Homo-oligomer: A and B are copies of this chain.
Amino acid sequence: MTSKPLATIVSGGLSKFGRLKGKYAREIFMEAAEEAFNRCLNLDPKRDIEALFIGLMGESYERQAHTGPTMVDWMNLLPLPAARIESACASSGVALRYGIYALLSGMHDVVMVGGAEKMTHRTTPEVTEFLAMGADFPFEQWNGITFPGLYALMATAHMHRYGTREEQMAMVAVKNHRNGALNPKAHMRREVTLEQAMSSRVIAWPLKLYDCSLISDGASCLILTRPELAGKFTDTPVHIIGSGQASDAIGIYERSSLTNLAASKKAGREAYKMAGVKPREIDLAEVHDCFTIAEIMAYEDLGLCRPGEGGSLLEEGVTTLEGEIPVNTSGGLKAKGHPVGATGTAQAYEVYLQLTGGAGERQVKGAETGLTHNVGGSGASAVVHIYRRG
């Protein structure tokens, strides 16, 4: 835990997540940006910020591409260089990584990274169709499979191979809804019982309604600096000490295993190695629970337990708010919501809050080291970052 930081978070912002009626993505992003600007009183955004990297998955939702300049324009930060990064639901996780590249390059001292998505004004079939563009067109979309179906295939494979049970998946929902109820910005601030989750209607067996994350509107951002400059902007820096990214086959039919995500494993290994941190040394993690089975696989892929033991880890309570390694203290994609482009940097925002003691009722005491894990599509891309309190 003595590696040199790659970059340092000096501020962050998160909009309310939910059904934000009558707002454009640019307006929602402004809400996140204003929080970040206000948190960091020594920051003069117009003078200090030198580039924006913004994740947004789908131009189809608002018929609006060219997100970089749109956001810069609305923040009144012209002529700031900016562009959109897209890697399906891992878009802003990758944007964060590109912000790190930019700082390490020596070309910039302060950059902004973030993400946004406006989804709820569209019908569910439209959203399902737009999301499906993150899966393979000729072999997956064309044959009618959508994301609940793809993750259902992984869930059944996991059940078959390891004996994972539907109740264990439902426990992810129960845990994350409990955390989300403590997060004022979460989309669904409501606890659910195991019985409610188990008896909710089937979406794609074995996945039921409460196994699926939420279609939400939202935005998130972080202000990053080179570590040596952080003191100028904040007394509570959070260092990024590891970054890993990997790709896997776009179609799940091409993969050697359906019970883990090779990209998550590879990205995790890279990030841990860079950070000099072992999986169980992490104090808390935000992982990509787009479906409950995805959180179980994440435990295993990130080395929090051995392959096949994700379900047991839940039953032992290791990942609850009071557990040894709390996972998805924000409520996760499951309860906080999943405005796809915003998710990666929203995860980083939660870790930033936790490591600076700003997580309120859901604060993990004494947390020093955190991890975020952001997955694109059915696992064709994954990004992992590791953070340390400054």
Contacts and interface: CB of A to CB of B under 8 A. Distances in A.
A254 B79 CA distance: 13
A66 to B, nearest CB: 4
Nearest to A377: B66
Contacts of A98: 83, 98, 101
Interface in A82-118: 82-88, 90-91, 94, 98, 100-107
Interface string A235-257: 00000000101111111001000
A45 interface: no
A134 interface: yes
A247 B81 CA distance: 5
B81 A83 contact: no
Contact of A84 (B70, B87, B243, B266): B87
A81 B245 contact: yes
Copies of this chain assembled into the complex: 2
Residue among A62, A246, A263 facing the most chain B CB atoms (10 A cut-off): A246
A250 B69 contact: yes
A14 to B, nearest CB: 22
Contacts of A37: none
A127 B267 CA distance: 37
A60 interface: yes
Nearest to A84: B86
B249 A69 contact: yes
Contacts of A106: 104
Interface of A: 24, 51, 57-60, 62-70, 72-73, 78-88, 90-91, 94, 98, 100-107, 132-138, 141, 243, 245-251, 254, 262-263, 266-267, 376-377, 380-381
16 contacts: A58-B59, A58-B65, A59-B59, A62-B137, A65-B86, A66-B86, A66-B377, A69-B87, A73-B250, A80-B246, A81-B267, A83-B86, A85-B85, A86-B86, A98-B98, A103-B105
